[in-house]
Structure 1
């Protein structure tokens, strides 16, 4: 619906292999153009762009298919689950000349936009350390999730750290933790319900710590990040709680400096969006406010990020420029997690993260 309401979008179609689901959503939201396969979409000659929201192991191959068909491609995270697939996406984007954007919600949340603006103003001073985490219980989700290596789906925790500081990860040491029940190890050969990594970044002698969990942890959903600077720090530990800013006040007396902490309430940045889609930063937007469909509520999910992502993708096509999270950036944000899992399988061995672009 965000695409439908965007002022620079003329028409929208939907695609799903499940005919009942396809027609149900088409009727509910008023989408007349409905397609039963990606090939049908690519061959019809009607569209300029495709947004892929499919199982993660199809992301890379479908992205390459879309680009090779001469269409712009947006794809949900992660971009891929192997380094070779990332190279294939970058190559297809360059060959086709079309735009590719990885739709990473974590760098468009109201919390990230709050920190990004203040970091750009120099309020944090030198950044000294970063942390990110993403805990999610995937029991009873679709079969392709079962036993997935945690770091193969780590961009929500990694991307804010790299995006804020303009860095990329160059090497990683990662350790697996906990015991995975045997049936969950069969699909991917992954023995770890939890993985935690230390990444060396490529400037300012920075390091970042990232933890990712998918199974066997009694913790409700959380995505968060922490930024520790010399003058200010930012902590957001609980999904449902407000973040905290720590700030140095004066030189202090005796041991240590005076450090104040304040709970902050990051506001939606609807001012960055066209009026027609600005309301989608919150979950109350919908065609029927008395009975909002889950898909509409999710428009305001991920802390208001969805309309910002759509606006950036559409704007990059309209303005004939690369989107912020282009193919190279997507690869540089996805590869660290792939390399981290390899390190965990090798007992924490150092793994060099390849450079893209």
Structure 2
């Protein structure tokens, strides 16, 4: 898709400086934040549940200037959390505030597209919770993706998706291993997002919440980011299978009567990398977000709660239990650095935060990108590269595992 150049793209000098100083970690060094001393981004926050878990008020270049939530108690929680004295009864009112530079959209999943487009059309930069788009059907979700791309491109404003997996401590480590050549070439990657227990947030058949019956692959970004953000390859083809049962959730819901609790996909990238992904809402499994990166020189396993490890080629040949020759890889426990303790963040944000340390990074990345007029890491095209493959994966599951091509959204040159 051809798009015009947006005003948030970095200059050549900014781009080269960013690559040289921060490519391995995938973040812009704090030194860049000093480029425009005293400049503050005036931010409005929508969504008093997840939206209250970030750290905008701690960033030296951000002022939380307004908040909103439809529920008064949540709105009051935002006011207290961010020490903000201006609140609105709705996002529709807040986007009209001429004093706001940007809007943080942390509303219900199916509302992200609508609210992001609304903010962009009112001249506001946007950071949105995941996923970028979510609709009742595959066709509608794809229409939203095209519409969001067109709206953001025409506006010339910044859109960023707050994908936590990009800035998980272990994903930063994987990106460093890949960038410095420690992994070698990527042989394969696998990722899983297992979250049993979400049913408590579904409501009931009579009073469903937005989560009631949501297809797992409509919420793919916590997994797809594990490959795409590390190597920058794109997912181009998928086959997927689903599992469901006779529960009412799987029989009648707002997502085309999605029949699946769990979906398991096998993606292929534009470099031919195989990438299996599991997103499960039900089953006797340990809830987690985890990933394994298999390289030609080394492999890295990230399993929060169970320990991280690296495998390197073994030298001693043994035999398996059937007597066949076997060279076992050398296993070494990996002591995961707390990247949030480093100068990759401004000093006020160097503390642990939600989703494996990612919330402070997301806070800094959006604000710093706006303050310094550069493209954020998880920009519109990165966001669609994480989101759209899951939409097509669900379509594959509905078609009995048919192999399907994934539409590509290409960033302007």
TM-score (norm 1): 0.89
1:253, CA displacement in angstroms?
7.5
Q: Separation in 2 of the partners of 1:197 and 1:63?
A: 28
Q: Separation in 2 of the partners of 1:265 and 1:88?
A: 43
Corresponding residue number in structure 2 for 1:211: 278
Deviations 1:325-357, CA, capped at 9 Å, x for gaps: 111111111000000000000000111100102
Deviations 1:176-211, CA, capped at 9 Å, x for gaps: 1242513443112111111111111001x2110001
Corresponding residue number in structure 2 for 1:61: 114
Corresponding residue number in structure 1 for 2:263: 195
Corresponding residue number in structure 2 for 1:166: 232
Alignment length (residue pairs): 335
* Mean CA deviation greater in 241-250 or 270-279: 241-250
Corresponding residue number in structure 1 for 2:329: 259
Q: Is the 8 A contact 1:180 1:193 kept in 2?
A: no
Q: Separation in 2 of the partners of 1:133 and 1:121?
A: 25
The SS at the match of 1:39 is helix
Coordinate RMSD, CA, aligned: 1.7
* Counterpart selection for 1:242 from 307, 318, 327: 307
* Counterpart selection for 1:147 from 213, 219, 222: 213
Q: Separation in 1 of the partners of 2:182 and 2:77?
A: 49
Deviations 1:293-314, CA, capped at 9 Å, x for gaps: xxxxxxx121000111111111
Corresponding residue number in structure 2 for 1:229: 295
Q: Is the 8 A contact 1:180 1:192 kept in 2?
A: no
1:221, CA displacement in angstroms?
2.2
Gaps of 5+ in 1: 283-299
Q: Is the 8 A contact 2:250 2:260 kept in 1?
A: no
The SS at the match of 1:223 is strand
1:236, CA displacement in angstroms?
2.5
Distance 1:41 1:314, change over 3 A: same
Corresponding residue number in structure 1 for 2:243: 177
Q: Separation in 2 of the partners of 1:185 and 1:144?
A: 16
Corresponding residue number in structure 2 for 1:289: none
1:214, CA displacement in angstroms?
1.5
Deviations 1:107-166, CA, capped at 9 Å, x for gaps: 101111111112111111121111011011211104211111010001101111111121
- 1:131 and 2:160 matched: no
Q: Is the 8 A contact 1:161 1:225 kept in 2?
A: no
Corresponding residue number in structure 2 for 1:331: 384
TM-score (norm 2): 0.78
The SS at the match of 2:190 is strand
Q: Is the 8 A contact 1:42 1:66 kept in 2?
A: yes
The SS at the match of 1:140 is helix
Distance 1:25 1:11, change over 3 A: closer
Corresponding residue number in structure 2 for 1:105: 164
Q: Separation in 2 of the partners of 1:301 and 1:258?
A: 36
